[in-house]
Amino acid sequence: MTILLKTMSVRVSSIQIMQVRVQNKGESVWKSRYDGDVSANHHHRTPYRAIVTVEALLRNSDSTKTRLSFEPHPLVGDAWDALRRSLVCFRGQPLGTIAAVDSSSGEVLNYDQVFVRDFVPSALAFLMNGEPEIVKNFLLKTLLLQGWEKRIDRFKLGEGAMPASFKVLKDPKRGVDTLAADFGESAIGRVAPADSGFWWIILLRAYTKSTGDHTLAETPECQKGIRLIMNQCLAEGFDTFPTLLCADGCCMIDRRMGVYGYPIEIQALFFMSLRCALLLLKPEAEGNKDIMERIVTRLHALSYHMRTYFWLDFHQLNDIYRFKTEEYSHTAVNKFNVIPESIPDWLFDFMPSRGGYFVGNVSPARMDFRWFALGNCVAILASLATPEQAGAIMDLIEERWEDLIGEMPLKICYPAIEGHEWQNVTGCDPKNTRWSYHNGGSWPVLIWLLTGACIKTGRLKIARRAIDLAEARLARDSWPEYYDGKLGRYVGKQARKHQTWSIAGYLVAKMMLEDPSHLGMISLEEDKAMNPVLKRSASWTV
């Protein structure tokens, strides 16, 4: 083996990524290692410059040939074995991964189905491992399901709706495989997923970015699929806001949890899918020019609205605390007529002097001040958060580590609701008791989103610490779906074991941490044309 000491050195914040090319029998791969660590003093970090450097690294190297240069954690091999056991095939071709392979549970329920949102971390793991075919198969089959007639009782869903999940039905006598899709008609509460179409577009862009294969996205079928999703989201109605109005339980939080209205998770995914759609649509294709113009218009309005009205830091909280109410006309400062007395007591102690986040929901006279992890992490990856805001979100996670991370990453929301509020908000849901499931439970799958956000902001120390916590427990606890308790110490009371996205989320986090160039699949650079004139966040210092 001939080693060519031809190196490519790129500095991401204070991390030195050394690329050493190794040539073996004519085959070349880039091997990566880290030289140095993230500085403890993050006042000198420049997150936006860091992500530009990572994106440049992806463009200048063959990401499909990137391999790790150090011994992987023993858990990685076990995780890959478990992930492959969850694969489901359709007519001999791998099509997706089922939600869980838990033989200890008597009731299968719908955990033997392929969920669109659940498959995303599995798809990313396969893409990062150089196995794109399963992702391509998944994208094409879900696109086929989009074209099905979708009815719940006597109501017909919109053309753009994507399924929440599907199941491969095998007929051993006839030797035929068929697909059965669920668009929400079988879900608890009968809620259609608002996020499935967004995840599909985001995954199509990740596939294109990873493989360099633009032919799939440019097929008439995929172009039509993107247009249908966009048309459904951009349809004109009675809204006075650019955000997307949603029902409770329409996303990862799929039970009644008070996220109806304009939840941060949906708005962040909506923003990211709009940007991905703009990159994937061909301007010359019939019907695309008009939709692309509408996307650009919506992006400008949405980015301003989210960065202005959803953002909360210490100074903004103090302003809301001092708000006047019942203001009339366009000169109003308290535009949503938020009553200061509605600010929950916990928030005053929770909000640090440095740090901030996008609140859970904003609508007339209502502001949900809860922290939601998925929406805030996606906001960083999509560059919905400005570089200053992204840094402030990471500051908050560091400052409130015990609350948001605890002993098992990552709290899906904080804080838990309890008592009379729990009765009113959840309808006395026995699954969403305090610090359990979606009511303040800890979800290991979210670690891939946290890791991506950490890399983008140059805060890898946070990601390493979180992954170390996960590695200490996940395999020993048989890869549970979620953890309960204020610190996430206990395996969830109804958590399935061998949960596929817990496994895949860990693998994606691990691979991104060991090769940050993978971040390019799921990260979008800041579009400065969309930046409104905003005051610099009080939680950011240079």
CA distance 188 to 256: 10
pTM reported for the whole predicted model: 0.86
Angle formed at CA 49 by CA 44 and CA 54, multiple of 5 degrees:
120
3 state SS of 442: strand
3 state SS of 476: coil
Helix (H) or strand (E) holding 60: helix 47-60
What's the confidence (pLDDT) of residue 532? 53
Say if residues 117 and 252 touch (Cβ distance below 8 Å). yes
Name residue 167's amino acid: K
CA distance 468 to 271: 31
Q: Look at the block and give the residue holding tokens 């936006």.
A: 48
CA distance 367 to 326: 16
3 state SS of 446: helix
Angle formed at CA 193 by CA 189 and CA 194, multiple of 5 degrees:
125
Say if residues 88 and 114 touch (Cβ distance below 8 Å). yes
Within 8 A by CB and 6+ apart from 374, the residues are 252, 265, 268, 412, 446, 449
Angle formed at CA 280 by CA 277 and CA 281, multiple of 5 degrees:
80
What's the confidence (pLDDT) of residue 35? 33
Give me the helix-helix angle, 116-128 and 196-211, nearest 10°: 10
3 state SS of 93: strand
What's the confidence (pLDDT) of residue 531? 65
What's the confidence (pLDDT) of residue 251? 95
Q: What is the dihedral of CA 305, 309, 310, 316, to 10 degrees?
A: 150
CA distance 25 to 21: 13
In Å, the largest CA–CA distance within the chain is 76
Question: From the centroid of its chain, how far is CA 41?
Answer: 28
Question: From the centroid of its chain, how far is CA 110?
Answer: 22
| Cβ atoms within 10 Å of 444's Cβ, excluding its own | 28
Q: What is the dihedral of CA 57, 63, 67, 73, to 10 degrees?
A: 80
What's the confidence (pLDDT) of residue 47? 37
| Cβ atoms within 10 Å of 3's Cβ, excluding its own | 11
pLDDT string in tens for the chain (542-residue length): 433 433 333 334 333 333 333 333 333 333 333 333 333 333 333 333 344 344 444 444 443 333 444 467 889 999 999 999 999 999 999 999 999 998 776 677 889 999 999 999 999 999 999 999 999 999 999 999 998 888 888 788 889 999 999 999 998 888 899 999 999 888 777 888 999 999 999 999 999 999 999 999 999 999 999 999 999 999 988 889 999 999 999 999 999 999 999 999 999 999 999 999 999 999 999 989 999 999 999 999 999 999 999 999 999 999 999 999 998 888 899 999 999 999 999 999 999 999 999 999 999 999 999 999 999 999 999 999 999 999 999 999 999 999 999 999 999 999 999 999 999 999 999 999 999 999 999 999 999 999 999 999 999 999 999 999 999 999 999 999 999 999 999 999 999 999 999 999 999 999 999 999 999 999 999 887 776 545 444 444 43
Say if residues 404 and 373 touch (Cβ distance below 8 Å). yes
Say if residues 280 and 204 touch (Cβ distance below 8 Å). yes
Q: What is the spatial order of strands in the sheet that 15-24 belongs to?
A: 2-12, 15-24, 27-35, 67-68
Strands 155-156 and 151-152: antiparallel
Strands 356-358 and 361-363: unpaired
CA distance 318 to 309: 14
CA distance 124 to 522: 9
Within 8 A by CB and 6+ apart from 16, the residues are 9, 10, 34, 35, 36
CA distance 358 to 264: 7
Tell me the HSE value of 330 on the side-chain side, using a 13 A CA sphere: 0
